[in-house]
């Protein structure tokens, strides 16, 4: 069995470009150490690349994460608007500071990203950019799937009205449940099935 950093390096070796930005999603606290290790591996390979971490764990433990030397920025709270503005700021050559939800130091950890008002305005995910065969092969649900089926995760809604003591998901998407409209769901599922 290879060590985790060797595994990460083997995946990073597959990149055919030098990234300007590397985003790392940390939704669960169990991913804390491995996410920081990945940021370390990215910085060792591409010192000029900006590392940006986001997700539920990052939103709730921002102070501990932004102090890590390989982490350049965090996105706290909903990330669609904050991350888009972050990338646009970099594209224009401006420092991405003062953007709601973008943390660049311990002094700016109290910012939170703006939520999307209507999840139906989010464009269809670019599934064509996913190596679908690799995704299906390494999907954690593959042990539950029949060998003659193909499945992928799909998000019908966001937010949760429950108050479970073990979950911090509401700190990002709130307690109000937003549901995609039927036509959008049908259109996206048809696209996935046919493509």
- pLDDT on residue 67: 97
Quote the tokens at residue 158: 């966001």
- pLDDT on residue 188: 93
For the entire predicted model, the pTM comes to 0.82
Please state, in angstroms and as integers, the Cα–Cα distance from residue 137 to each residue in 106, 118, 125, 192, following that order.
40, 33, 20, 17
> Which segments of the chain have a pLDDT < 50?
1
- pLDDT on residue 1: 39
Quote the tokens at residue 191: 């696209």
pLDDT tens for residues 142-165?
556 666 677 777 888 888 888 888
CA angle 172, 174, 176 (to 5 degrees): 150
Calpha distance 39→153 (Å, rounded): 25
Which three-class secondary structure state does DSSP give residue 103?
strand
């Amino acid at each position: 069995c290879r060590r985790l950093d060797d595994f990460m390096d083997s995946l990073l070796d597959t990149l055919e470009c030098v990234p300007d930005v590397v985003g790392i999603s940390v939704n669960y606290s169990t991913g804390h150490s491995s996410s920081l290790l990945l940021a370390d591996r990215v910085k060792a390979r591409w010192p000029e690349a900006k590392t940006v971490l986001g997700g539920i764990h990052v939103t709730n433990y921002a102070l501990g994460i932004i102090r890590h030397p390989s982490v350049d920025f965090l996105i706290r709270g909903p990330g669609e608007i904050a991350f888009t503005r972050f990338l646009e700021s970099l594209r224009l050559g401006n420092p991405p500071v003062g953007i709601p939800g973008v943390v660049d130091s311990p002094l700016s950890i109290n910012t939170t990203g703006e939520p999307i008002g209507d999840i139906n305005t989010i464009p269809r995910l670019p599934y064509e950019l996913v190596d679908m065969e690799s995704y299906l092969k390494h999907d954690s649900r593959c042990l539950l799937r029949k060998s003659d089926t193909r499945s992928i995760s799909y998000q019908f809604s966001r937010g949760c009205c429950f108050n479970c003591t073990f979950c911090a998901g509401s700190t990002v998407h709130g307690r109000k449940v937003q549901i995609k409209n039927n036509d959008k769901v049908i259109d996206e599922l048809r696209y996935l099935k046919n493509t």
